[in-house]
Structure 1
Amino acid sequence: MKPDIHPDYHEIKVVMTDGTEYMTRSCHGKAGDVIRLDIDPKTHPAWTGVQRVMDTGGQIAKFNKKFASIGIRKG
């Protein structure tokens, strides 16, 4: 490997959404920095398999009204 071309690889602390912490190595920030996660595998639906549908402002109702006639065949 060539010297002086690679980023600094150091330990940082990662804080999960539930408060648990662990140390890992990364090129992010400086040695000893803390990363606080907003979304992690313990809370994100992609990993938990639990999804919440939030209908903000009636968007689902508006969608259903707009596309209600699709798929209905008149004979």
Structure 2
Amino acid sequence: MKPDIHPEYQVVTVTCACGASFQTRSTKGIDQVDICSECHPFYTGRQKLVDTAGRVERFRRKYAKSKKGKKAETPEASADN
């Protein structure tokens, strides 16, 4: 490595918005993050469920008419064979 061209790699303290802090190594002096493993829902087990039920119901209502028409035709076609 060439001397005096690389930034200094040092131990820094990373502070989260929730108040948790931990030490790591970085070229940046001080680091602040918005979310960490102490407050992230995936790691804490307090996950919010996304409201997909409303989207699924809306999809079913939207395509219910075309689906009913196909179901009515399908049994008749299979009965003829």
TM-score in terms of structure 2 length: 0.50
Judged with a 3 Å threshold, the aligned counterparts in structure 2 of structure 1 residues 43 and 2 are, in CA distance, closer, same or farther, namely: same
SS in 2 for 1:67: helix
Percent of matched pairs sharing the same residue: 35
1:67 to 52, 59, 66: 59
Residue in structure 1 matched with residue 11 of structure 2 by the alignment = 11
Residue in structure 1 matched with residue 41 of structure 2 by the alignment = 45
Judged with a 3 Å threshold, the aligned counterparts in structure 2 of structure 1 residues 51 and 20 are, in CA distance, closer, same or farther, namely: closer
Aligned residues: 66
SS in 2 for 1:24: strand
SS in 1 for 2:12: strand
Q: Which amino acid aligns with 1:50?
A: R
Larger relative contact order (Cα-Cα within 8 Å, sequence gap ≥ 6): 1
Query: Quick check: which one's helix share is greater?
Result: 2
SS in 2 for 1:46: helix
Q: Which runs of 5+ in 1 are unaligned?
A: none
Of the two, which has the highest radius of gyration? 2
Q: Which amino acid aligns with 1:21?
A: S
Judged with a 3 Å threshold, the aligned counterparts in structure 2 of structure 1 residues 20 and 50 are, in CA distance, closer, same or farther, namely: closer
TM-score in terms of structure 1 length: 0.52
